[in-house]
């Protein structure tokens, strides 16, 4: 009796929602072999005897709850199998986990949720291990999620690299560690570049800082106070503001360039603005003898044109 395996096709309506469901249409082992042979880089003569094994792998994936079509799973196996040791690859394959990774790689929300549920402990442990002042565990979790499931233009998401060899849990652990180590190296390189390029701020003319609405007798003091406040910012925050206000990078672009989540970039920009305004106020207190009301008025004017002034101030860095 020839071995067969179901190919899953079909759809139905349920409560005004169209969804796919499984309808078994039998595909022979020979058909699965043909699919494998079409996508494998090795000697096709070696494929003739693997029909029973392919049927077994498809059945194992379905038994674990996979909804990935048999043809898709077999094509994925063929694309990942080495040309020189096919038997060993198939013997050590984890078809259910490969099917889960395949579904997640094409953005299947249910598959992504199941993967994160099944392996959440591994992911959380890696995120906590590498969390620090720059990236919280939640930040790292979101960075990892983006790398795993979102494809860069012209590329495929990282989860698609899982070849079905070894447990998916172990692959996720190693992948997370590599991503976080690379993230740390990129931060170190950024710090070195900042130390070389951002250690001095030139003092611009008051008229260049968009503070013309401030009384003429106070403009030089305000310009000097803003200059000193900018100098007090952390080099990384100063660089972030320069990229945002001078280079005109969006929050999303900053996150991609600096290897941080967009929410982290937005928080750091907001924090840097607040620190600069507060430092400017402290400097003005020491430079000018003003009533609180007049000081508040000046700070309000500074804040209203802060981004324009900062763009001019940060642009002057050598």
pLDDT per residue of the chain (318 residues) written in tens, 0 to 9: 344 444 433 333 333 333 333 333 446 788 899 999 998 888 888 888 899 999 999 999 999 998 899 999 999 999 999 988 898 999 999 999 999 999 999 989 899 999 999 999 999 999 998 887 667 888 888 889 888 998 877 888 999 999 999 899 999 999 999 888 887 765 555 454 444 444 445 555 555 566 665 667 677 777 888 888 888 888 778 877 877 877 777 888 777 666 677 888 888 889 988 888 888 888 888 877 777 777 788 778 777 777 777 777 776 543
207 is written with which tokens?
């008229």
User: What's residue 118's pLDDT?
Assistant: 94
Q: Which residues pair with 26 in a beta bridge?
A: 6
Domain boundary among 58, 93, 128: 93
Q: Count CB atoms within 10 A of the CB of residue 164.
A: 25
Residues 15/20/25/28 CA torsion (nearest 10 deg): -170
pLDDT at residue number 91: 92
Instruction: Say what the pLDDT of residue 187 is.
Output: 55
> Last residue of a domain, which of 175, 197, 219?
197
Cα–Cα distances in Å, from 47 out to 34, 59, 78, 86, 127? Answer: 9, 19, 10, 9, 42
pLDDT confidence of residue 285: 82
Domain co-membership, 87 together with 126: no
The upper half-sphere exposure of residue 280, i.e. CA atoms within 13 Å in the direction of its Cβ, equals 27
Please tell me the distance from the alpha carbon of residue 263 to that of residue 251, in angstroms, as a whole number. Answer: 8
174 contacts: CB under 8 Å, gap ≥ 6? none
Report yes or no on 101 lying in a domain: no
Are the C-beta atoms of residues 176 and 144 closer than 8 Å to each other? yes
Structural domains of the chain, count: 3
Max CA-CA distance within the chain? 98
Compute the distance between CA of residue 292 and CA of residue 313 in angstroms, rounded to an integer: 26
Beta strands in the chain (DSSP E): 4-14, 17-28
One domain, residues 261 and 294: yes
Residue 144 shares a structural domain with residue 187: yes
Phi, psi of 165 (to 5 degrees): -100, 120
On whether residue 99 sits in a domain, the answer given is no
What span, in angstroms and rounded, lies between the C-alpha atoms of 121 and 113?
A: 14
186 Cβ neighbours under 8 A, 6+ residues apart: 258, 259
Q: What backbone torsions phi and psi does residue 194 show, to the nearest 5 degrees?
A: -65, -40
CA distance 146 to 308: 33
Report if pTM > 0.85: no
Phi-psi region of 16 (alpha: psi -120 to 50; beta: other; left: phi over 0): left
Last residue of a domain, one of 174, 197, 220: 197
Tell me if 283 is assigned to some domain. Answer: yes
Q: Is 5 helix (H, G, I), strand (E, B) or coil?
A: strand
Structural domain containing residue 16: 1-93
Query: What is the distance between the alpha carbons of residues 161 and 154, in angstroms, rounded to a whole number?
Result: 15
Question: If you ran DSSP here, which 8-state letter would residue 151 be given?
Answer: P
């Amino acid at each position: 009796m020839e071995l067969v395996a179901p190919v899953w096709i079909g759809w139905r309506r349920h409560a005004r929602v169209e969804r796919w469901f499984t309808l078994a249409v039998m595909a022979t082992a020979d058909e699965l072999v043909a699919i494998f042979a079409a996508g494998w880089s090795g000697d096709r003569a070696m494929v003739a005897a693997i029909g029973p094994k392919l049927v077994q792998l498809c059945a194992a994936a379905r038994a674990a709850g996979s909804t990935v079509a048999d043809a898709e799973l077999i094509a994925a196996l063929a694309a990942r199998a080495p040309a020189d040791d096919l038997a060993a690859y198939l013997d050590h394959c984890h078809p259910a986990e490969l099917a889960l990774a395949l579904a997640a790689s094409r953005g299947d929300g249910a598959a992504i949720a199941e993967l994160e549920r099944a392996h959440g402990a591994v992911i959380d442990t890696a995120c906590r291990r590498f969390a620090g002042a720059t990236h919280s565990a939640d930040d790292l979790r979101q960075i990892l999620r983006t790398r795993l499931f979102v494809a860069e233009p012209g590329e495929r998401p990282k989860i698609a690299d899982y070849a079905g060899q070894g447990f998916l849990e172990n692959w996720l652990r190693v992948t997370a560690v590599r991503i976080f180590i690379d993230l740390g190296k990129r931060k170190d390189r950024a710090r070195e570049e900042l130390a070389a390029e951002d250690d001095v701020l030139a003092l611009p003319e008051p008229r260049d800082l968009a503070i013309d609405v401030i009384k003429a007798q106070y403009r030089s003091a305000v310009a000097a106070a803003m200059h000193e406040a900018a100098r007090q910012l952390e080099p990384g925050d100063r660089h972030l503001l320069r990229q945002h206000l001078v280079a005109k990078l969006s929050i999303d672009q900053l996150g991609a360039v600096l290897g941080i989540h967009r929410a982290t970039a937005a928080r750091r920009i907001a924090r840097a603005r607040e620190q600069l305004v507060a430092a400017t106020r402290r400097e003005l207190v020491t430079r000018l003898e003003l009533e609180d009301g007049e000081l508040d008025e000046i700070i309000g004017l500074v804040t209203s044109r802060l981004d324009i002034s900062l763009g001019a101030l940060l642009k002057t860095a050598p």
